[in-house]
Structure 1
Amino acid sequence: RMRWTCPVLILFIFACSVRAKKMRWCTVSDPEQRKCAELAKALAAVLPPAALAAFARLSCIRATSTTDCIDRIKGNRADIVTLDAGEVYSAVKQFDLVAVAKEVYSDGGCILSIAVVRNSSLDIQSLRGLRSCHSGVRWTAGWSLPLGFLLSRNYLSWSKEHPLSQDVGAFFNASCVPGAAAMAPRLCTLCQGQKSYIRQKNYHCETSHNEPFFNNQGALRCLKRGVGDVAFLDHLSLETIEEDFRLLCADGTQAPLSHYRKCNLGRGPGGGTVTRHNFRKVVRKFLTTVQMLFGRQGREKQRFEIFDSTSFGESDLLFRDLTDKLAVLPDDMDVSQVLGLDYVALLKGLGHEGSSLEDSVVRWCCISHAEQKKCEQWALSIKSDPLVCVKAASMRDCIEKIKRDEVDAVSLDATHSFIAGRCGLVPVVTEYYGTFLSSVLPTVVGVAIAKRSSRSIYMGNLGGRRSCHGHMYSPAGWLLPYRHNLSLEHNSSSPCDPDQVFNTVFWKGCLPGAQGDLCKVCMGGTGEAATKRCADNHNERYYGNMGALSTDSILPKIICLNNDQINPSGKSYGDVAFLEQHNLLANIAGLSSTGWAEGWESSHFELLCSDGSRAPLSEWRTCNLGVIPPNTVMTRPVLTARVYDFLMKSQETLAANPQAEFKLFESEQFGESDLLFKDATQCLVHTSHMDYRSILGEDFSTHVETVFNCTHSDILEFCDQDVCSIF
């Protein structure tokens, strides 16, 4: 009779080390209760008695809904349930439960939200007044992602004076959103579950299989029966949809069901299993055992399959039927690591944690003392929504803070806009400079300049020179120069990593945000802006395109060019500077007005052309390093409409008072240049309808992508952490 295999013996020993505990699984329908009971029987049949006594003795607790399950687990009347990611977030943040496992599907740990219709004349822009079917309130694919999309495009308006559910109820003519009865009864008018004054018998609009239109299959059922015009569900449900249905795409078109990878409303995390904190170790071991026995590769799957519900008359019981495996989560995983920063920020933006002060303000990211001062003056000068100014260390830090929901918006140069786009942020507006060098948006160009008297300096002869660059990842100071033949001797076999090129070619330089020799020409900050040398913000005196134009704070960038080997302070200057051409002549002319640089004129400097020749500064159109797309304000998708409205109101308020001391696109009074926005900006152009790559242009986007494919970047490493594929 002793026929235990070695793995079962291991399970037996493993189980005996755990304190005896019954596992109580919470179910929300009779079919799910039956499947749970069959799982309990299967466990009893294959595990030795000691293992069952230790932790695998399963009982099934019948609840009325997933919300009821969360309440029962919190109150120690049940132990475990699998939820949609939106409900996982609520369970963790509002009920102090913990996620212990995550569903992983054949293509990763995420799902895509799709909008399905039968009517070929509908599009995503004209959903107002239609009847809608949703998998569940706060569900990822059926609620959060589609509403986040509609808000980001301003198709749906939310006043923030009342819950989002109220405006959704007014947006659609009628809906079935299981779970929404308590917050907005109007969202339940299409639901068909049994109504009863007895709590245990009322299934109308509940997150239970007894509501016919509950979950993804229920939303699809709602559409198939002609009750609704559009159904919001996830792509895993596509296998059960007939071909006469179509998808609504984000660009306003329709597509066949097979095009869901390109035609969707966003992606988010899949389902997860939750329990109480003090029970998580037992649940992890229980789930590991269940999967080892009855998972896709389970040794006993001929007896029972945990990811198959077909024999119980329903789908997705206990787990999604298309789950490939369970990823059992470690102890130290925060909910944002389980669900992803983008998704958590979306849920906060949709009010999943209730209203807060953040809902009524725009938090702008500032990267220096001078930017903070200008931002605070901006806040005092406008009558639109309140503005809060938040300090960060660099543009890269701003991107990370927006991703983490610590700030809301910032204007980024083209390279950082690309990074932000890769990080899931989206455009709001783009700076307009008044001159066009392309057919899409106004652009500037990058240039290399040197003192006219330094005749031995030219492109191709920069080896061993001292260089001045705007800052790390700046288009003109970092991205464009390395593409050109800087030194015939040093970079004949140029690697695609600009840092390697600059370190090889130049003796030393100032590239704020870099390290080593490329920081030795930098000066650091003084006074209120005191900082270590080479900081990646305006506190570094040589940061940015031009630097400041005042004598009492920061030396202009152009003064990095000096024939003398050493300046009076003992710091080394540069021989060549890489910067943008905009406002170049005006800034050099402004040097004389500072007093200490009297007599400096634009004729004292020349452009270095890529063919090795030199040219006057006025010839930048033909002698340059390449075209640079404009700066773009980026934010999280759900905030696009709010940030855009804020900027337009702010722009209108300031334009209505031209005599006011504060100017949004001027920085001179704050002792710097290009603070918050480029000083060359004339106005902000609406671009939230455009993809970030469209704003940057395909050539620029491809070039940046090529560079970062072979250049290590901490911020891109952070951005590329994909909750959909890390399990």
Structure 2
Amino acid sequence: MQGLKAVLPLLIFVFCVRAKKMRWCTVSDPEHKKCAELAKALVAVLPPAAVAAFARLSCIRASSTTDCIEKIRANRADIVTLDAGEIYSAVKQFGLVVVAKEIYSDGGCILSVAVVRNSSVDIRSLQGHRSCHSGARWTAGWSLPLGFLLSRNYLSWSKEQLLSQDVSTFFSGSCIPGAAAMAPALCTLCQGQKSYIRQKNYHCETSHSEPFYNSQGALRCLRSGTGDVAFVDHLALESIEGSDRDQFRLLCTDGTQAPISHYRTCNLGRGPGAGMVTRANFRKTARKFLTTAQTLFGPRGRERQRFQLFNSSSFGENDLLFKDVTDKLFVLPDDMDVSQVLGLDYVALLKGLGHEGSSLEDSVVRWCCISYAEQKKCEQWALSIKSDPLVCVRAVSMRECIEKIKRDEVDAVSLDATHTFIAGRCGLVPVVTEYYEKERKCVPAEGSTHLETDVLPSVVAVAVAKRSSRSIFIGNLGGRRSCHGHMYSPAGWLLPYRHTLSLEHNSSSPCDPDQVYNSVFWKGCLPGSQGNLCKVCMGGTGEAATKRCADNHNERYYGNMGALRCLVGDPSGKSFGDVAFLEQHNLQANILSLSSTGWADGWTASEFELLCGDGRRAPLSEWESCNLGIVPPNTVMTRPVLTARVYDFLMKSQETLAANPNTEFKLFESQQYGESDLLFKDATQCFVHTSHMTARSILGGEFYSHIESVFNCTHSDILEFCNQDICSIFE
């Protein structure tokens, strides 16, 4: 009682300053009853001065959540709880705002799980089965499972028609509440009452009056034998008790099944949980209401004995007004954009699934270019193919490409091994990997449409010095000038520091490459870095003009070609380094191009030597025994829902260009643009299909673990951006 007295003055102040009527939108009789009980409880516990405000809490009955959204927009209701997929539509299409999010015991997100009772069902062969879904465009019941099926190409989407049309032919029958307007076939298994009067029609509606509505309803659909698979959120699994749990299994992404207790490792993806929406001009009142209701009736509320906000058991249904497993509500500040509330990955997924309708972007592939030369090559590529339109979008570095893909500003880019690791941590997935082996023909195995291989050919990292610099070895590089391909490049940044570069400069923090290079070298050029490791860099000129040390080809000392230029010096012979860390695969061609491009005359391969890790020097031809380590191949990365589209685009490009061998444009040649390795490595022979693989399996366990350990003690802005967890940010 003392605690209640302490909070009452605050509640009176909050609600008497500006009392407003609050109208909660309900979608079933049980929910309406719970809402009415909440209104009574508020009247009972608030003092007379605040009752005037809360006695006017009213419950507005609607036929579905869609009806609620329309009522709130038309000012006939004020607030409703929606699934995250519906929130996006409410914000983008109806101009509503999110005021709060549900937080569960393990954060603000849900996992999508596919539940079955038949041990023979496989996630890879769901076509022709009957499906039960929590709701149309819902996170766990629609967006995440369809995103997964599309990313693996188990479900094909022609793009000439709405996704719902292809889904309706993929399953032999479905109940997807809310999908009646999309495709009638998606409602064939639903069991709600049918009526020509909208207010009395509950068939396939997002209302508890549809027996198969929400995650609990989808499980009911599966239990009854109506459907073969149910797509629900992991929170609904808590309602399956005792011996019943043994009847159900989860479908895992690798084609296996698992007990329902294994949902953390066997699921189809993670997305934001539910939240409350209102009109923009009502958000202040809605926030105050939710804060007070939670203070009084939440799990730790002062009046929880009288009424429990997150418990629906006494009303004959689950998840009324809020999910019953909600731990608390997180009330959001004014300035949060919907992408901050729902997360960049999820918003990009919804756009990819057509939540905003079809647009020109749906038929375009946007490729990320990081320099003037790459843009030129990309535009030539666009003119040379007859597949889907290609749009070339500029960024300043591979890191910015990753960020732009995550933000849905571009679609794809080919990344080196270190950036592939970062992209994987950022939620991007592989499409194809560059294949470098000349001996093997780039043709798919008989009966397959994809070129796949168990072995992905790699390249090697080498350290190169001029033959005339006889005193330079690995081990005595202290005080020298260094040339590195670029920041985070495997050959220029990740691998060299593992060797003892200088006996006199032993780094106290050997797991941070930046610290090692700063302590060992007097100065150098590591594009994308700063301080002394930028002092040898030159910048760009003309149309590629840029400041020194830019992390792209506009910096003339960027990449493998740039590190070689840095070693020999600028055209006047000045501004050079003593050692270059680069990849071996196109070293000979790059040496030849020094003369042909007019950079520096007279250099031949015999005038350079390799520095071996054991302190020896060797001719360039001995790179197999004298190198700094293996570099996994580059990989094209994209957002999960786009893998099939980007793959098809690349295959069509490859076929078109192969069919016209006399065309001037070559996808894997860059010298005519004055650089090397533009868009793809010049050593690439073809693309290998790898969208069924993870970044870890492409890079290899040892290389992946090494990168992981490096970034555990090296600050990285891009990884900081990628590691923002929308699921824990609101806890």
Q: Identify whether the pair has TM-score above 0.5, normalized to the shorter chain.
A: yes
SS state at 1:546 partner: helix
Asked if residue 9 in structure 1 is aligned to residue 12 in structure 2, the reply is: no
Distance in 1 between residues matched to 2:333 and 2:537, nearest whole Å: 44
Deviations 1:459-517 (A, max 9, x none): 11111111111111100111111111111111253431111111111111111111111
Q: For residue 559 of structure 1, what is the aligned residue in structure 2?
A: 565
Closer, same or farther: CA 55–621 of 1 in aligned 2, 3 Å: farther
Q: Which amino acid aligns with 2:378?
A: C
Closer, same or farther: CA 197–594 of 1 in aligned 2, 3 Å: closer
SS state at 1:383 partner: coil
Q: For residue 184 of structure 2, what is the aligned residue in structure 1?
A: 185
Asked if residue 478 in structure 1 is aligned to residue 478 in structure 2, the reply is: no
CA contact (8 A) 1:432 1:684 kept: yes
Closer, same or farther: CA 3–587 of 1 in aligned 2, 3 Å: closer
Q: For residue 261 of structure 1, what is the aligned residue in structure 2?
A: 264
CA contact (8 A) 1:520 1:572 kept: no
Asked if residue 528 in structure 1 is aligned to residue 543 in structure 2, the reply is: yes
Determine which of 513, 519, 527 is the counterpart of 1:498: 513
SS state at 1:561 partner: helix
TM alignment of 1:446-485, pairs within 5 A: 446-485=461-500
SS state at 1:323 partner: coil
Following superposition, the deviation at residue 338 of structure 1 comes to 0.4
Distance in 1 between residues matched to 2:628 and 2:161, nearest whole Å: 52
Distance in 2 between residues matched to 1:439 and 1:44, nearest whole Å: 69
Following superposition, the deviation at residue 15 of structure 1 comes to 2.4
Q: For residue 295 of structure 2, what is the aligned residue in structure 1?
A: 292
Q: For residue 593 of structure 2, what is the aligned residue in structure 1?
A: 590
Q: Which amino acid aligns with 2:414?
A: S
TM alignment of 1:545-624, pairs within 5 A: 545-547=560-562, 557-562=563-568, 572-595=575-598, 597-624=600-627
Q: For residue 425 of structure 1, what is the aligned residue in structure 2?
A: 428
Distance in 2 between residues matched to 1:713 and 1:367, nearest whole Å: 19
Following superposition, the deviation at residue 42 of structure 1 comes to 1.0
Closer, same or farther: CA 247–571 of 1 in aligned 2, 3 Å: same
CA contact (8 A) 2:507 2:519 kept: no
SS state at 2:615 partner: coil
CA contact (8 A) 1:124 1:250 kept: yes
SS state at 2:476 partner: coil
CA contact (8 A) 1:436 1:442 kept: no
TM alignment of 1:75-94, pairs within 5 A: 75-94=74-93
Deviations 1:321-347 (A, max 9, x none): 111111111111000010000000000
CA contact (8 A) 1:55 1:286 kept: no
Q: For residue 154 of structure 1, what is the aligned residue in structure 2?
A: 153
Q: For residue 315 of structure 2, what is the aligned residue in structure 1?
A: 312
Closer, same or farther: CA 494–455 of 1 in aligned 2, 3 Å: farther
Report the TM-score when normalising by structure 1: 0.96
Deviations 1:594-626 (A, max 9, x none): 455333111111111111111111111111111
Q: For residue 198 of structure 2, what is the aligned residue in structure 1?
A: 199
TM alignment of 1:100-111, pairs within 5 A: 100-111=99-110
Closer, same or farther: CA 209–587 of 1 in aligned 2, 3 Å: same
Deviations 1:347-396 (A, max 9, x none): 00000000001001100000001111100100000011110111111100
Determine which of 620, 630, 634 is the counterpart of 1:631: 634
Q: For residue 664 of structure 1, what is the aligned residue in structure 2?
A: 667
Closer, same or farther: CA 669–435 of 1 in aligned 2, 3 Å: closer
SS state at 1:545 partner: helix
TM alignment of 1:283-432, pairs within 5 A: 283-432=286-435
Distance in 1 between residues matched to 2:68 and 2:229, nearest whole Å: 29
SS state at 1:633 partner: strand
Q: Which amino acid aligns with 1:515?
A: Q
SS state at 2:236 partner: helix
Following superposition, the deviation at residue 54 of structure 1 comes to 4.2
Distance in 2 between residues matched to 1:213 and 1:559, nearest whole Å: 67
Unaligned runs of 5+ in 1: 548-556
Distance in 2 between residues matched to 1:497 and 1:58, nearest whole Å: 59
Structure 1 runs, 4 residues or longer, greater than 6 Å off: 435-439
Q: Which moved more, 1:454-463 or 1:332-341?
A: 454-463
Distance in 1 between residues matched to 2:332 and 2:49, nearest whole Å: 26
CA contact (8 A) 1:507 1:517 kept: yes
Distance in 2 between residues matched to 1:325 and 1:658, nearest whole Å: 63
Q: For residue 556 of structure 2, what is the aligned residue in structure 1?
A: 541
CA contact (8 A) 1:56 1:286 kept: no
Unaligned runs of 5+ in 2: 441-452
Asked if residue 508 in structure 1 is aligned to residue 523 in structure 2, the reply is: yes
Q: Which moved more, 1:335-344 or 1:251-260?
A: 251-260
Asked if residue 519 in structure 1 is aligned to residue 534 in structure 2, the reply is: yes
Following superposition, the deviation at residue 587 of structure 1 comes to 2.0
Following superposition, the deviation at residue 163 of structure 1 comes to 0.9
Q: For residue 443 of structure 2, what is the aligned residue in structure 1?
A: none
Deviations 1:163-214 (A, max 9, x none): 1111100111110000011111110000000011111111000000000000
SS state at 1:122 partner: coil
TM alignment of 1:271-290, pairs within 5 A: 271-290=274-293
| Alignment RMSD | 1.7
Closer, same or farther: CA 118–612 of 1 in aligned 2, 3 Å: same
What fraction of aligned residue pairs are identical, expressed as a percent? 82
Q: For residue 444 of structure 2, what is the aligned residue in structure 1?
A: none
CA contact (8 A) 1:87 1:138 kept: yes
Q: For residue 24 of structure 1, what is the aligned residue in structure 2?
A: 23
SS state at 2:500 partner: coil
Report the TM-score when normalising by structure 2: 0.96
Q: Which amino acid aligns with 1:14?
A: V
